[in-house]
């Protein structure tokens, strides 16, 4: 299995095209940038979609990491939060 993130996201973008599913906004942008040449637009779409997939994957991964850290962080017995202190007053 390939673990290169660039290759993986590029493969995902090509899979979308093979399945006939694509992001309309990016396809229109690709067509515009390629003077309506569909062959060039495909390549441009792949580049654009690969960039957006990398951003999406990065955001999802960061969210999962933050949640995992929060779930795994043990709360020390002597730790008091501001909320805990407010409750006692």
Domain extents in the chain: 5-88
Calpha distance 88→34 (Å, rounded): 66
Residue range 34-89, pLDDT digits in tens: 999 999 999 999 999 999 998 888 888 888 888 888 887 776 777 777 777 777 65
Calpha distance 13→46 (Å, rounded): 6
Calpha distance 49→5 (Å, rounded): 13
Give 20's DSSP letter: T
Residue 32: predicted pLDDT:
96
């Amino acid at each position: 299995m390939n673990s290169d993130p660039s290759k993986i996201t590029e493969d995902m973008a090509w899979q979308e095209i093979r399945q006939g599913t694509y992001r309309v906004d990016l396809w229109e942008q690709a067509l515009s940038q390629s003077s309506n040449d569909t062959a060039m637009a495909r390549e441009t779409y792949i580049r654009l979609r690969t960039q957006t997939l990398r951003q999406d994957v990065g955001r999802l991964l960061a969210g999962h990491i933050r949640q995992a850290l929060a779930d795994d962080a043990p709360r020390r017995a002597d730790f008091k939060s501001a909320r805990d202190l407010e409750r006692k007053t």
